[in-house]
Structure 1
């Protein structure tokens, strides 16, 4: 439970607590080490003094070895004040004990005080004993030819110094820890400030309505907080990369949704237009069939059959166009063979001239070798025929129509240009869409009406051959351009063509 609560604290608090704990441990270790070293040093000095006093006392006592309880050596000058001395028997019992006073004769110890001194061996080792009424002493016992003397010095100075050192170190450590804690708190707060800004950016991004509507530009982490040299900068840079990825994904999702929406709209419009186009010939066929059922006096049978046949052919052509577009949309493979685009265009121009004698048909070949492309010859012929038919149907009689074939830079280019009234500007963006019909400004040369699939078929077939198609139109000039990849570079060993030819 405690670990869970600690883990739930903020990073700033955890860092501060951890650093404070480390500082406390370090300060405590340093203080204890200092106290122990200082205590050992002071005890060493005190032990040296105790040894010197014991040797001097033993020397004085050895002058009267027959007096077992003699302490007259304490009357000699030079003994430190507070020194304790005692005569011992062979069993370590105290025979006599006294302390040296300041400018006073030695004072005998009481029985209670001497009892504390019993049991000290005369082996020169140091002992610490607390004597009632006198304090703590550092003791040692020495022996010389049967003379045994116990000598001790008070430890008050050592203890006072150690106690003062502990107090000073505690005060200094407390002050240092307080100052270090305050400094660490300030430094941690300043160092974690970039991380706080990164977190604020993440929170702001999380509140953005990403699931609906058009997503605006998301907030980024400031550049100053994306320095890869720091951990916070690495987090900020990673967050910015993630936001970039989210934005690109959202933009792609929106584009996909927009494409789906447009595709659905085109599909609905396509179905509506297809239904409308099919309904017209079906209605005509049904009408003429009804008239025939009511009797031949209402309509001439030959005329009725001719109209039924014409509407059937129109409906068949429309269905075939729709099937062709469907196959191209599915990506079904076309026949593949080398096709001479120049010869194919020449045949199509001859056919167009026969169908529309009222137009001025011209062919121009600007190449040094036959432009061979890889593709389906029948479909490519349909591309050229549809472009020429479009120029014939949507321009008045007498319009000049020029078909040009070029081959350069690995591309075979077909251009169909007329000097008719042009395509309305509002129609140009959708001219290659299905069931797109020309404006009334593009006068029809014939009374027939098209289905609006011709240019859509041209665009689909061109795309299936890895080609491109474009249109440029203005009053007095309309040009369709089809580019197809050549099968290979034009070589010198190919059939030589004239640099410029025309068919009038």
Structure 2
């Protein structure tokens, strides 16, 4: 591939061609107009000179006489003073045509010497139309002339003025225009090259920034991209500013994307490691009890071992189911580019669901003090997947029961509130009510360093707590994934004396119109 000309020289060449074309047009118009002006002046002089000849309006009677070579008994010889008469400029050709024959013709040079005309020149003069306007003829060695003939059918007086001086003036004008054009083109190209180079210097800086980014080793996890287009280059001109601003935004997006990728890879590594750790324990337990069962013949021991193996198998199954649920929600979200709706969309009576889950928790953990607060008299209905929403409620109640000591007061509340900023974008867009589900307890607060990653999967804090209390560490991650899939939001606030998990789920009006009759 050949070398592509730079934008700088393209601009210079384009402007130079434009200047040349403009100068050529202006020069051509000037030359044509100036030559027309000179020809008009020459025609005026020619008309004056023709009228001064004998037989013209201002001249005397023409000399009479026979043509050269005729008999002396016809007419007297013409007066040679007709050639070079007063008022005629040097080089003026005059002739008298009688009966289609030049009886007298010649011109006087700048030294005052008279010269005759050749037969070809005489023939050319006889062809001039009497009474017509000035015309241009070629008199051979004498050059081109402007000629005019006056007179009647008798003697015709022909006067011709040379065009040599006029052509010389036009040639000088063309030379001057050419020299000025060349000099102007050189100066303009030089100045334009400097201006273009100065104007494109910020663009070169932008290109240097882009080239510098390519030198970074982004494949090895380099997420810091310090290269940016300077503010001085952004304000140099509008076009470069637009390109530089777009490049800075692009680099910012790339840096954030690399950071997200790095964090995702780190999270995936941690996820795999923690999942492997969580699965290793039940697998080791199953293997150990299987080996013990092979070595004993005691049926009671075998039954106990099988029962323990069954519990560990259930534990592994629950962990795999939770992982599959998170993977399914993640895949759906990535496919649509936004939080997705659950796979099942049907009327869900959230009031009944919360009441049942609270009663189950009270029966499972009687050492805790459970309180249920339902503000609304009518059932609170939402559209979604009942199984997944039940999992959300159960996980939050289990989390409160598992990570707080006996005697802790757990308050479960459910109410309908107007749409708020805490709800998701889809909830706000519906302009409907929001169902708020809160699980609060007065147990030990959650460490502040664990709050930002509390809903992540297998985070260090969640993982340590799960190992301590025998849970998978995926409960809160599932809560967030399911709530977001329903278009809602979940948040936590923890301080000494109160820890509260708050879930907001939208209630679109168009869905409520269909759900209310079903609840009745």
Distance 1:243 1:376, change over 3 A: closer
Question: How many Å separate the matches in 1 of 2:171 and 2:84?
Answer: 37
The Cα of 1:16 is off from its aligned counterpart by: 1.5
Distance 1:291 1:417, change over 3 A: farther
Q: Which of 339, 355, 377 does residue 346 from structure 1 map onto?
A: 355
Q: Does 1:430 align with 2:453?
A: yes
Structure 1 segment 98-247 matched on structure 2, within 5 A:
113=117, 115=119, 118-119=122-123, 120-121=125-126, 124=130, 148=155, 152=159, 155=161, 159-160=164-165, 162=166, 165-166=169-170, 169-170=173-174, 172-174=176-178, 176-177=180-181, 180-181=184-185, 184-185=188-189, 188-189=192-193, 192=196, 196-197=200-201, 199-201=203-205, 203-210=207-214, 212=218, 213-214=222-223, 215-216=225-226, 218-219=228-229, 222-223=234-235, 225-226=237-238, 233=239, 236=240, 239=243, 243=247, 246-247=250-251
Structure 1 segment 305-324 matched on structure 2, within 5 A:
305-324=303-322
Distance 1:435 1:7, change over 3 A: closer
Alignment check: 8 A CA contact 2:435 2:507 kept: yes
Which structure has the larger Rg over C-alpha atoms?
Answer: 1
Q: Does 1:482 align with 2:486?
A: no
Distance 1:36 1:393, change over 3 A: closer
Question: How many Å separate the matches in 2 of 1:425 and 1:274?
Answer: 25
The Cα of 1:42 is off from its aligned counterpart by: 0.8
Deviation per residue, 1:160-187 (Å, 9 max, x gap): 4x25633653465356536743674477
Q: How many residues align?
A: 463
Alignment check: 8 A CA contact 2:293 2:301 kept: no
In structure 2, the partner of 1:455 is: 476
The Cα of 1:406 is off from its aligned counterpart by: 2.6
Question: How many Å separate the matches in 1 of 2:94 and 2:452?
Answer: 122
Q: Which of 321, 341, 357 does residue 366 from structure 2 map onto?
A: 357
Alignment check: 8 A CA contact 1:6 1:14 kept: no
Unaligned runs of 5+ in 1: 227-232, 495-504
Distance 1:7 1:382, change over 3 A: closer
Distance 1:10 1:431, change over 3 A: closer
The Cα of 1:320 is off from its aligned counterpart by: 2.7
Q: Does 1:407 align with 2:416?
A: yes
In structure 1, the partner of 2:23 is: 23
In structure 1, the partner of 2:289 is: 285
Unaligned runs of 5+ in 2: 67-71, 333-341, 419-432
TM, length-normalised to structure 1: 0.71
Over the aligned positions, Cα root-mean-square deviation in angstroms equals 4.9
The Cα of 1:46 is off from its aligned counterpart by: 1.9
Question: How many Å separate the matches in 2 of 1:140 and 1:464?
Answer: 103
The Cα of 1:312 is off from its aligned counterpart by: 1.8
Question: How many Å separate the matches in 2 of 1:360 and 1:418?
Answer: 9
Question: How many Å separate the matches in 2 of 1:37 and 1:448?
Answer: 110
In structure 2, the partner of 1:275 is: 279
Alignment check: 8 A CA contact 2:229 2:248 kept: no
Question: How many Å separate the matches in 2 of 1:144 and 1:443?
Answer: 132
